[in-house]
Amino acid sequence: MNSCLIRGGMLIDGTGAAGYRADIRVEGGVITDIAANIEARDEEQIQDATGCIVAPGFIECHTHFDGTMWWEPELKPLAGFGATTVIMGNCGFSIAPLPESPEVRDELIKIFSFFEDIPEAPFKTCLLYTSDAADE
Ligand SMILES: [Zn+2]
């Protein structure tokens, strides 16, 4: 059976708990061990994840939560379904980076409000209107 040991990453386990440093063993595509320091087996593939986030779980590859995440930071119900990673904006429809121009921002909010059937008010009160927001 193929065995892989992912070492030294910051584990985000999808439970909502804070990330923590852990090693993870994967055998046959299944996580079989999570611990602070797992000893490598002979001929086991080892991946050094030092400085990386390790988020085993489903990858939600198409959401429009880039507005919703500002007033629902837990992105419910995705985590409950096992999603640990979200990719936003891959259909060309995204809030980030939020435009500097108030007129363009308002137009973008109107578009999101229409397509997502969300009132404009949460967008106007919850979104960060700084260029730093694109980094978050
Ligand atoms: Zn889309």
Q: How is the chain split into domains, by residue range?
A: 3-54, 58-135
Residue (of 37, 85, 30) closest to 62 by Cα position = 85
CATH fold label, 3-54: Urease, subunit C; domain 1 (2.30.40)
Mean residue pLDDT across the chain: 86
CB 77: neighbour CB atoms within 10 A? 9
**pTM for the full model?**
0.60
| Ligand 1 midpoint to CA 85 (Å) | 16
> How far apart are alpha carbons 91 and 71 in whole angstroms?
22
**Ion ligand 1 nearby residues (CB, 5 A):** 91, 93
91: tokens are 């259909």
- Mean pLDDT for 102-107 is 88
CA of 50 to the centre of ligand 1 (A): 33
- Adjacent-strand bridge partners of 86: 60
pLDDT tens-digit readout, 44-75: 999 999 999 999 888 888 888 878 888 888 88
Cα-Cα-Cα-Cα dihedral of 20, 76, 93, 111, to 10°?
-140
**More confident position, 110 or 133:** 110
Instruction: Report how far residue 103's alpha carbon sits from residue 96's, in angstroms, rounded to the nearest whole number.
Output: 16
Distance (Å) from CA 65 to ligand 1 centroid: 10
